[in-house]
Amino acid sequence: MSVEADWFLRAHPEVTTIEALLPDCNGVMRGKWVPRHKLGKIFGGELKLPKTALSLDIWGRDVEELVFATGDADGICLPVEGSLLPTPWSPDGQHGQIMLSMFDGDGAPYMGDPRHILMQVVSRFKAAGWRPVVAAELEFSLVTWDRDIPAHTCPSPVGSGPVGGNTYGLDVLNHHRQMMEDLRVACEIQDLPFDGVVKESAPSQYEINMQHVDDPVKAARQIIMMKRLIKGVAAKHGLIASFMAKPFENEAGNGMHVHCSVLNEKGINIFDDGTDKGTPLLHQAIGGCLTYMAESVAIFAPTYNAYRRFQKGCHAPTFPSWGYENRTVAIRVPASSPISRRLEHRVAGADANPYLLFAAILSGMLEGINENLSPGGPISGDGYAQEEASLPIYMPDAVRMFKESDFIRNALGSEMQRIFTLSKEQEIDEFRRRITTLEYQSFLEKL
**pLDDT tens, residue by residue, 27-86:** 999 999 999 999 999 999 999 999 999 999 999 999 998 988 777 889 999 999 999 999
Q: What is the pTM of this model?
A: 0.94
What is the pLDDT averaged over residues 247-260?
91
What is the pLDDT averaged over residues 311-319?
78
Nearest CA among 200, 214, 217 for reference residue 358? 217
In this predicted structure, the answer to whether residue 19 has a pLDDT above a threshold of 80 is yes
pLDDT at position 245 = 95
In this predicted structure, the answer to whether residue 161 has a pLDDT above a threshold of 70 is no
The percentage of residues in the chain with a pLDDT greater than 70, rounded to a whole number, is 94
Nearest CA among 359, 324, 364 for reference residue 342? 324
In this predicted structure, the answer to whether residue 165 has a pLDDT above a threshold of 60 is no
pLDDT at position 167 = 66
In this predicted structure, the answer to whether residue 152 has a pLDDT above a threshold of 70 is no
pLDDT at position 166 = 61
In this predicted structure, the answer to whether residue 240 has a pLDDT above a threshold of 70 is yes
pLDDT at position 170 = 67
In this predicted structure, the answer to whether residue 10 has a pLDDT above a threshold of 90 is yes
pLDDT at position 311 = 81
pLDDT at position 124 = 98
Longest dimension (CA), the chain: 70
Whether 419 contacts 117, CB under 8 Å: no
Residue 363 pLDDT level (bands cut at 50, 70, 90):
very high
Nearest CA among 89, 80, 43 for reference residue 189? 89
In this predicted structure, the answer to whether residue 163 has a pLDDT above a threshold of 60 is no
Residue 149 pLDDT level (bands cut at 50, 70, 90):
low
pLDDT at position 70 = 73
How far apart CA 376 and CA 325 sit, in angstroms, is: 16
Q: 66 phi and psi, to 5 degrees?
A: -75, -40
Rounded to the nearest integer, the mean pLDDT of the chain is 91
For 63-215, where are the alpha helices, taking DSSP H only? Answer: 64-70, 114-127, 170-175, 177-189
| Region of poorest pLDDT, from 129-138, 159-168, 358-367 | 159-168
Rounded to 5°, the CA angle 162-165-171 comes to 90
pLDDT at position 1 = 67
How far apart CA 366 and CA 5 sit, in angstroms, is: 38
pLDDT at position 22 = 97
